[in-house]
Amino acid sequence: MASGSLIPMARDTTRITFVPTVKAYPTPSERYGEAVCVAGVRTDSTTPEWVRLYPVLFRDLPAEQQFSKYDVLELDVQPSSDYRPESRRPIESTIVTVGHLDTADRWRERRKIIEPLLVESMCDVRRRQEDDGTSLAAFRPAHVDDVVPEPEEGDWTPEQRGSLSRISLFAQDRTLLKKVPWRFRYHYSCGVGGCNGHAQTIIDWEIHAAYLKWRRDHSEDETVRLVREKWLNELCGPTKDTIFFVGNQRDAPRGFLVLGVFWPPAERPSQQMEHLDLGV
């Protein structure tokens, strides 16, 4: 049975329309097993607003309820024990995909929901976090300097492997989640007075999936080079209107991570590069 179907319906359950813009790479959870944090935009409200869904046991969901970024979803949510104002607990069994926002006309439909939410900079996000608890945001970095790979030693601990081994009836053929032996960080600046630059870990599922896919056919050094080339020179290249999605950590509210990248063509005419299809 899907995990969401075990959650009783409550009076404070709300039906929302939601477009996921980022999915973090799954992490081991003692309580939930293999848990995914999904962030995106609620579109049935008066104006678009950020929503964080956790936990999503994505690979345990039946196939018809698994979703891609920029699908249009309808689902029931409940208040979360997470103190961050954007956080909701999804009732996974209620997820229905009702549409998809494609990249036609220079990503026009996706821009409609992202651009109203843009803030000035990462430095602005930090000020907002102090003022009102903001924990999800999007902005255009002024200058992206590098993507820096940092090795991460070791594999899953026995306790983590135990958590990751818990599966639902819909996921009997699911393989154990692989641990990527690298942490990739964006180094960038805001272009505003007083900004000393930022170095933030990228936790998007896509960058982990890219590493695992390319590692099957390339050496370790070449795989890391390909990841850096993609996330620096393509997603943040001069032909792209690059926007970073960021979110903070529950136990470290001042510690923000890059959740994902929005990279439509820049306003000037250019040849749009083909989007990497990683099935996440």
DSSP 203-230: -BHHHHHHHHHHHTTS-HHHHHHHHHII
Question: Are 245 and 110 found together in one domain?
Answer: yes
| Position 79 in a domain | yes
Examine the fold and report which residue of 67, 100, 133 is the final residue of a domain before the chain moves on.
100
* pLDDT at site 242: 98
> Above 70 in pLDDT, residue 172?
no
In terms of domains, do 234 and 254 share one? yes
Residue 245 lies in a domain: yes
Give 193's pLDDT tier (boundaries 50, 70, 90). confident
The answer to whether position 279 is within a domain reads: no
Write out pLDDT tens, residues 102-121: 999 999 999 999 999 999 99
Residues 36 and 171 in one domain: no
Q: Mean pLDDT throughout 196-202? A: 97
d(CA 136, CA 202): 14
Averaged pLDDT, 154-182: 83
pLDDT of residue 174: 79
109 and 95, same domain (yes or no) = no
Q: What is the pLDDT of residue 166?
A: 80
CA–CA distance from 273 to each of 264, 265, 277 (Å)?
9, 9, 12
Look at 79 and 271; give whichever has higher pLDDT: 79
Q: What is the pLDDT of residues 89-102, one digit of tens each?
A: 999 999 999 999 99
Q: What is the dihedral of CA 137, 26, 73, 264, to 10 degrees?
A: 50
- Residues near 187 by beta carbon (within 8 Å), at least 6 away in sequence: 144, 145, 146, 147, 148, 197, 198, 199
If asked whether residues 162 and 120 sit together in one domain, one would say yes
Q: Tell me: do 167 and 258 sit in the same domain.
A: yes
- According to the model, what pLDDT value does residue 265 have? 96
Q: Is the pLDDT score of 40 beyond 90?
A: yes
Q: Is 268 inside any structural domain?
A: no
Q: What is the pLDDT of residue 191?
A: 86
Closest by Cα among 113, 96, 109, 133 to 47: 113
CATH of residue 37's domain is 2.40.50
Q: Report d(CA 204, CA 25) in Å as an integer.
A: 6
pLDDT beyond 50 at 136: yes
Which pLDDT value is given to residue 46?
A: 92
- Band of residue 176 on the pLDDT scale cut at 50, 70, 90: confident
User: In terms of residues, how long is the chain?
Assistant: 280
Same domain, 29 and 115: no
Per-residue confidence band for 2, with pLDDT thresholds at 50, 70 and 90: very low
Question: Would you say residue 180 lies in a domain?
Answer: yes
Average pLDDT over residues 155-178: 81
The model's pLDDT over 152-165, given as tens digits with 9 standing for 90+, comes to 988 898 889 888 88
Across the chain, mean pLDDT equals 90
Rg (CA), the chain: 19
**Residues 71 and 196 both lie in one domain:** no
Same domain for 95 and 155, yes or no, is no
What pLDDT is stored for residue 271 in this prediction?
38
Give yes or no: residues 111 and 188 share one domain. Answer: yes
State how many domains the chain has: 2
Say whether both 167 and 231 belong to one domain. yes
* Over residues 56-64, mean pLDDT: 92
Name the more confident of 245 and 5: 245
CA distance 261 to 22: 8
Single pTM value for the model:
0.89
Q: Which domain holds residue 20?
A: 15-100
Q: What is the pLDDT of residue 164?
A: 86
- Whether residue 4 is contained in a domain is answered as no
Q: Tell me: the pLDDT tens digits for 248-280?
A: 999 999 999 999 999 999 975 443 344 444 545
For residue 7, pLDDT over 90 is answered with no
| Whether residues 176 and 203 fall in one domain | yes
User: What one-character DSSP code corresponds to residue 103?
Assistant: -
Residue 140 in contact with residue 243, Cβ under 8 Å?
yes
Residue 163 is predicted with a pLDDT of: 86
